[in-house]
Chains A and B, each alone.
Chain A
Amino acid sequence: MNCETARELIGADPDNRSPELLEHLRSCPECQVFREQMLALNAQIRRALDLKLQPRSRGTGQASGGGPVGATGPVPGDAGGAGPSAAPPSNVTPLRRKPAPGGGLLRSRWMALAASVAGALFVGVTLWLGRPSESLAHDVVVHVEGEPDSWSRTQPVASEDVAAVLRKSGVKLGAGMDPVVYASSCMFRGHYVPHFVVMTKAGPVTVMILANERIGSTKQFHSDGYSGLLVPVKAGSVAVLSRSPMQLDQPARDVVQALQSGS
């Protein structure tokens, strides 16, 4: 086993005790140090994940339930149960319950109607608020899917060609980005935008500089096998996209810095 394989194994599973790894560690002090550090980090991760969350008490009349809770014993009458002894855990509140008879039924219907109206309003407002960014991310993915060849490029594009793309879109870009292996000035939402693929250490990343698309804050999205970030910049936004799970923060930072230094 070589150092690279050993570190991949340690990074993936610091508690790994395979004979091959242990044998390598005996003869490699550097990997031994790496392992100790990863074990320390793992202990911190374990501590970080161990949130002290107390289940919230669920009183009667909640939207998601409404049954008696906090009882000390099993509650009979579970819809999926098989008799009196087949009761759910005491804190389990059935999500749907039969309406109470008589006046309770009328009240329940009025409450259901009111809840429906409120729910519809909430959904409408949420959709309205969420639409711009969601639609932007969707359009970016659709655009990138339309240029599948862009991902297969490996040779750096000449700086003059990159400059021409930028010029056409009216965007100025400073240094600092990874090598550009694909550069195109694309029509996107009625404007010419620079569409680059940069070759990062982790693989190709698509970058689109969207000077006419303003967003409020950084958005992360996943769609159709793509992972992406929409990052707000001084003038518009930047879309950074990869076809496989990878860190996009750094490529996004590089683009933002290049934009800043170019302006």
Chain B
Amino acid sequence: MTESGGGDPAEALARQLESFRPDLLRFAFWLARDRSIAEDLVQETMLRAWRSRTELRDAAAARPWLFTIVRREHARLHERKRLPLVDLDDMVARQEPELTSGEEDPQILDLRRAILTLPDEYREPLVLQVLGGFSTAEIAAELGLSVSAVLTRLFRARNRLRDLYGQVPTGTAAEDAP
């Protein structure tokens, strides 16, 4: 990994990793839909990142690298579960304190609840794109999908949010995209 500043490189890296913690926690929360699990995912991510720090050659790649670790940790967590069940109503109610943090606009709060109830297949690429800043090609590589499959999922995710959110564009909305 290259360092742009002076001083102890390890300390600089530690500071850099730490600076990403809020972003990682947000990302982990939207993946796991549970604050406690998100905290643990980020904690484990920090440890793994630190132990694998020699793999990071470019400081600019640190953020997507960390997002990738969070995602893999989350996937690893679910590998052990044969048939995960999610009680949507309970889940939204349980995460209400996180959903209402720093926001009073009822529309945004509704949108947060709607995002939380999106199926994983739609929520994950959407969060990677909007929160992580990943391109569709990067998301495809990350999720092991084709670019067209990612585009479809992103389209459907927004379509669904638009429906749930009550925003209906005029014209011939492409409801039946592939």
Contacts and interface: CB of A to CB of B under 8 A. Distances in A.
Contacts of A217: 87-90
Interface string B91-123: 000000011011100011001100100011110
A130 B161 CA distance: 29
B79 to A, nearest CB: 13
Contacts of A202: 176
A94 B172 CA distance: 54
A48 B21 contact: no
Interface in A199-233: 201-202, 217-223, 227
Interface string A63-105: 0110000000110001011000111111111110000000000
Contacts of B111: 44-45, 48
B34 interface: no
A1 interface: no
Contacts of B127: 49
Given A51-B102, A53-B29, A227 B88 contact: no
Nearest to B108: A48
B158 A11 contact: yes
A78 B35 CA distance: 26
A53 to B, nearest CB: 5
A221 B84 CA distance: 6
A88 B15 CA distance: 10
B32 interface: no
B61 interface: no
Nearest to A48: B111
A7 B174 contact: yes
Given A34-B173, A55-B39, A74 B10 contact: yes
Interface bracket on A: 35 or more
Interface in A21-55: 30-31, 33-34, 37-38, 40-42, 44-55
B82 interface: yes
A86 B112 CA distance: 39
A34 B158 CA distance: 12
B130 A34 contact: no
A201 B176 CA distance: 7
Contacts of A85: 8, 10-11
Interface string A244-263: 01110000000000000000
B154 interface: yes
A86 B108 CA distance: 42
Contacts of B46: 88-89, 91-92
A48 B112 contact: yes
B60 interface: no
Interface in B145-178: 150-156, 158-162, 165, 167, 169-178
A92 to B, nearest CB: 4
A91 B49 CA distance: 13
Given A55-B22, A247-B156, 17 more contacts: A8-B177, A30-B170, A34-B171, A45-B158, A48-B115, A53-B25, A53-B38, A53-B98, A55-B25, A64-B40, A65-B43, A80-B50, A92-B43, A138-B83, A220-B119, A222-B83, A246-B156
10 contacts: A8-B174, A12-B154, A34-B171, A49-B26, A55-B22, A86-B10, A94-B47, A201-B176, A218-B89, A222-B83
Interface of A: 3-4, 7-9, 11-14, 30-31, 33-34, 37-38, 40-42, 44-56, 58, 64-65, 73-74, 78, 80-81, 85-95, 130, 133-134, 137-138, 141, 201-202, 217-223, 227, 245-247
